[in-house]
């Protein structure tokens, strides 16, 4: 079957660094994506990894290890506005739909 596991909740303070892990088990693998969702609104694309290694986009970085079926999203210099739900998602083949994890709720406090 298909499954993506990520922690349900993470808490941190402003200015801190937090890492959200994701392990996946799928029949195929074309890439791992991360999405952010505020208050049940539209999920917004954050990053994508198709190859092993680290991708950096501003304060956010994403890592992938295909041999371990594992990835993480790293958020640095946390701000209150980063409080949201974060979803990892796998695409099994090019152009196909995303398979989502259940999401991690990040709460950032001052």
Partner 1 sequence: EAGVTQFPSHSVIEKGQTVTLRCDPISGHDNLYWYRRVMGKEIKFLLHFVKESKQDESGMPNNRFLAERTGGTYSTLKVQPAELEDSGVYFCASSQARSSYNEQFFGPGTRLTVL
Residues at the contact surface with partner 1, assessed by CB under 8 A:
4, 30-31, 33, 35, 40-45, 48, 50, 87, 89, 91, 94-103
What is the SS3 assignment for 82? helix
Q: Minimum CB separation from partner 1 for residue 16, in Å?
A: 27
Residue number with CB closer to partner 1 (11 or 96): 96
Long-range residue pairs from 47-56, CB within 8 A, at least 24 positions apart, any chain = 47/73
Residue number with CB closer to partner 1 (35 or 72): 35
Q: Minimum CB separation from partner 1 for residue 13, in Å?
A: 27
Q: Minimum CB separation from partner 1 for residue 14, in Å?
A: 27
Label each residue of 35-64 as H, E or C: EEECCCCCCEEEEEECCCEEEEECCEEEEE
Residue number with CB closer to partner 1 (33 or 108): 33
């Amino acid at each position: 079957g298909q499954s993506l596991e990520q922690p349900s909740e993470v808490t941190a303070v402003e200015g801190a660094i937090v890492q959200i892990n994701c392990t996946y088990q799928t029949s195929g693998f074309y890439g791992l994506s991360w999405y952010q969702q505020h208050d049940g609104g539209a999920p917004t694309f954050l990053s994508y990894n198709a190859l092993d290694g680290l991708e950096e986009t501003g304060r956010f970085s994403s890592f992938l290890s295909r041999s371990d079926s594992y990835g993480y999203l790293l958020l640095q210099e946390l701000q209150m506005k980063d409080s949201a739900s974060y979803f990892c998602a796998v695409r099994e083949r090019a152009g196909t739909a995303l398979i989502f994890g259940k999401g991690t709720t990040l709460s950032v406090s001052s």
